[in-house]
Amino acid sequence: MDIKKTIRRQNLEDIEHQAHKVAGMMERIRAAMLAPTAAKSAPTLKAVQLAELCGVDKSKIAYRLTRGDLPAGEIQGNSREWTMAESQVWARELRAEHLRPEGAAGITITVANFKGGVAKTTSAVTLAQGLSMRGHRVLLVDLDPQGSATTLFGVLPDAEVETEHTAMSLFTGEQDDLQYAIRSTYWPNIDLVCAAPLLYGAEFHLPARQARDPGFEFWRVLDRGLDLTREKYDAIVIDTPPSLSYVTINALMAADGVIMPLPPSALDFSSSAQFWDLFSDLCNQLVRSRGKDKSFEFIDVLLSRVEASDTASSVVRQWILEGYGDKVLPIEIPKTSVAATASAEFGTVYDLPRGSVNSKTFSRARVAYDRMCELIEQQIEAVWARQVAERQILETAV
């Protein structure tokens, strides 16, 4: 076939038709994936999985069942299963020493990278799910106009998200507290602030507000908008656009901790260097020039989409270790078919029921994400301990 003969000019009407066609396909795909209710549901856990989650032996679960003070679950076939909400009750009871102590505030974690395709959204959503499974109350704030995290929670950004469901009203100045946009999700103890293409408008509103009022600090809008929310949630996880935009700057300036997913490829490593260089310059212009400072409790680099068989990546992995040092988390997220399967079903590795994919591959991916969540939780606990200690010192001084 001669491609020159098949080329047809595309006008705006054609593009509009294409947009409607793909949007309709998304509706049908989601309806098929999530039939018959077009709503997602969190997975159930068996006794072995519940024991692993709570960090106890299976016999401990059997013993606590005899006391009757925790959810008993339901018998399904030859085994007992617990819903996610019931499992979280167990986690809060048996992992009480890991929960937020009185006097500590929720920790805000921003997942960011200058480049797309690095598993940023997957890392943010799995972190939110993993922390909630461990008994924490989590808010996920989706700030990427593409709304990928929103989609993973079973909400279609184009069709089901309005301005009041997003952070847009906060960025325009119509609201000064993000609580108006919070909605519950199918996953117990995870609430969501959605994203949609309309969020692109924030890139115009924020600089416009800055131009009208030189005293306005556009980079502090989200930080201030989360103040009340930090008392309600143990962790606030923010997914950002794949660019150093006005919105991303807000997310970084609101963060206590930053996670950068980084595949071991030369292009991704180069892009990460540009990200930190630009962010450093902006911090100097926006913060230090005003005699202020910004500190982070932790900055983590997460090796993501790692292919064990790729020999070239071992060289780049060494670059990353030398460049970022102890910021690199001691875990690698493998690039597996499990991630592709989960993504195709609008979910993550935590959404997939065991046995739905190759058990060895599933286990490798699940263990990696479990370890990631464990490492982040340890850092969160350290921040809480420091907050409590500092508060006690202040109270003693008074």
Measure Cα distances from 266 to 48, 317, 320, 342, 357 in Å.
41, 9, 10, 27, 31
Give the residue with greater pLDDT, 391 vs 28.
391
Rg (alpha carbons) of the chain, rounded to whole number: 22
pTM of the model: 0.89
Q: Are 238 and 251 in contact (CB under 8 A)?
A: yes
Q: Which of 279, 379, 378, 373 is nearest to 333 (CA)?
A: 373
Output DSSP code: residue 345: T
Q: Are 373 and 256 in contact (CB under 8 A)?
A: no
Mean pLDDT of the chain: 88
pLDDT score for 36:
40
H/E run at residue 193? strand 190-193
Surface-to-core class of residue 125, CB atoms within 10 Å of its CB (0-12 exposed, 13-18 middle, 19+ buried):
buried
Mean pLDDT of all residues in 211-231: 95
Residues 25-43 have pLDDT tens digits of 656 655 555 544 457 889 9
